[in-house]
Amino acid sequence: MKRASVEAVIFSAVVVTSLAFSPVYAAGKPHYFGGVPDVAAAAANNGTGVPLAEVRKDSPAEQAGLKSGDVVVQLGDTKVRTVDDLVQALRVAPRDQSVRVVYIREGQQNQTEARLIPRK
């Protein structure tokens, strides 16, 4: 069995330490929102928000008044340009608090509040 080089051990320690203190890693799973992103439309949107393909019944998104076709451009303090941005925003959203959701519907910018649910 080969021994790991000192550089490899140090690199591994740095990566593990940085992940442990990363707010995204520490936050764990994204909160449940209930808005299903239209991934293809989001990719074609050139970073101008994430369209929702579906809004699940009785979800935080539905309770906030969001509808299929709405384009989410901000969730909490995070600007949402891509699906990755939306996932990041859901990961770092505060627990058991409502967050502001800014969205575009029929060309008009709107905002609402959504109370996200922690995933189990």
Beta strands in 9-106 (DSSP E): 35-37, 50-55, 71-75, 78-79, 98-105
Return mean pLDDT, the chain: 80
Per-residue pLDDT reduced to its tens digit, 45-73: 888 999 999 999 999 999 999 999 999 99
Counting DSSP H helices and E strands in the chain, the numbers are 5, 6
Residue 19, pLDDT > 80, answer no
The more confidently predicted of residues 32 and 113 is: 113
The more confidently predicted of residues 24 and 87 is: 87
CA distance 90 to 77: 11
* Alpha-helical segments (H) within the chain: 6-21, 23-27, 39-44, 60-63, 83-92
Residue 35, pLDDT > 50, answer yes
Look up the CATH architecture of domain 29-115.
Answer: Roll (2.30)
Domain positions in the chain are 29-115
Q: What is the largest CA-CA distance in the chain?
A: 63
